[in-house]
Amino acid sequence: MANSEMKHSKNIAGRFYCTDPDDEGGEGCIACNVCYSGAPDFFAEDDDGNAYIIKQPTTDEEIELCTEQLEACPVSSIGDAEQ
């Protein structure tokens, strides 16, 4: 589960978030590119390739797409504040 106390500093505020790569709890982003290639309208990469949220989803379809990225993340670094 993503650590809500270690959010990436570039996340746009809202329901979904990515964790900072320096999260020592083991849920930090590893720059695998799954989320920002799967949903580039919502996820972006910083200069080191680590993911962050650039747009929060608003429709059911967008929420489903972001949830799919959360579930596909190999290190659980994507969080959903409503879960």
- Is 40 inside a domain boundary? yes
At residue 13, does pLDDT exceed 70? Answer: yes
Range of the domain at 61: 16-80
Name the domain count of the chain. 1
Q: Which residues contact 45 (CB under 8 A, 6 or more apart)?
A: 31, 33, 36, 51, 52
How high is the pLDDT of residue 25? 67
Whole-number Cα distances in Å, 47 to 5, 44, 64:
22, 10, 27
pLDDT tens per residue across span 18-41: 999 887 666 789 999 999 999 999
- Is 5 inside a domain boundary? no
CATH number of residue 61's parent domain: 3.30.70.20
The pTM is what? 0.93
Q: How many residues does the chain have?
A: 83
